[in-house]
A and B are shown apart, each in its own frame.
Chain A
Amino acid sequence: MVKLVDTKFIGKKYGPTKYEVGREKIKEFAKATGDMNPRYLDFDAAEKEGRPVIAPPMFAVVYAKDVIEQMLLDRELALNLMMLVHGEQEFEFGVTVKSGDLITTEGVIKDIFNKKGKDFVIEETVSKNQNGEMTVRGLLTFVIRGS
């Protein structure tokens, strides 16, 4: 079986990218996923208590998106997007993300391997808030079917 993606790209880095979290985007995301948790949506209560609303844990996909896109569209890596599926996803959460946070994300290709005629590309993303505290570590597995 011919290896489709070169393992020399293991260790290749992406980012850093920056994302400023806003409460309207949090609301849009929560509603699009059918999640009406007041911790994300009750702006009045948050204002009354003088605190920002928090983002859903899965909001990580919004602020980490750009580094993932950088890898997917990396011309040197040249992934076949027509044959690519998102196989697995893992998130490990650190400090909570709140409206007003400025999140910096960096990505790195952790592994590339071939199994049963399919290529597996694993990217790790690490996101930190404006205080340098980790908000999330993501591990994405993309599977590329051989054509």
Chain B
Amino acid sequence: MSIKDLNVGDAIEEQKNQVGKYQPIYYAGAGGDFNPIHIDPEFGNMVGLGGNILQGLCTMSFVAKAVVDNAGGDPEALKRIKVRFAKPVKPLDTVVVSGKVVEKSDTEAKIELSADTKNGEVNVISNAFAVVRL
């Protein structure tokens, strides 16, 4: 089901992202954010994070991917995206991205988005939305 076929109030297809143990390191190489809180578990412990945490922008990529995949896999459909990084994501977490259509016109749809870990107990992305070209 593509966003085109959804109505206001309908949920988009939920997406699960299993964060790899070394994903923050791969993302550091790909995205360029080598902050030690992301790549060094010892440093993460020292600053009270209980280990290293995933780059927020990597989590934002999961959210963007969920929107694109729900728009028929067309990356060019994504017009706008906004997120608030509410809580850190850790290696081996499962990030579940969900959303629902809150506005729809002939040309665009607005999707309210959220992402959770720990089976919905920790909200990691809040105050988030995307605008999709239809």
Binding site for B on A (CB under 8 A): 25, 28-29, 31-35, 37, 39-40, 54, 56-58, 61-62, 65, 82, 85-93, 96, 139
Contact = CB atoms under 8 A, between A and B. Distances in A.
B30 A32 contact: yes
Contacts of B73: 37, 39
A88 B57 contact: no
A55 to B, nearest CB: 8
A56 B31 contact: no
A61 B65 CA distance: 15
10 contacts: A31-B26, A32-B23, A37-B68, A56-B64, A61-B32, A62-B30, A65-B31, A89-B57, A90-B81, A93-B78
Nearest to B131: A92
Interface of B: 17, 23, 26-27, 29-33, 47, 56-58, 60-62, 64-65, 68-69, 73-76, 78-85, 127
Given A35-B61, A56-B61, A61-B57, A88 B26 contact: no
A93 B65 contact: no
Contacts of A87: 84-85
B9 to A, nearest CB: 24
A72 to B, nearest CB: 10
* Nearest 10 pairs of A and B residues by beta carbon: A32-B30, A33-B61, A90-B82, A32-B26, A29-B30, A58-B61, A28-B30, A32-B27, A92-B80, A65-B32
Contact of B31 (A29, A86, A96): A29
A89 B83 contact: yes
Contacts of B127: 88
Contacts of A32: 23, 26-27, 29-31, 58
Nearest to B26: A32
A133 B40 CA distance: 39
Contacts of B69: 37
B65 A33 contact: yes
Contacts of A93: 78-80
B92 to A, nearest CB: 14
Nearest to B58: A33
Contacts of A40: 75
B62 A89 contact: no
A57 B80 CA distance: 10
Given A85-B85, A91-B81, A56 B57 contact: no
Contacts of A61: 31-32, 57
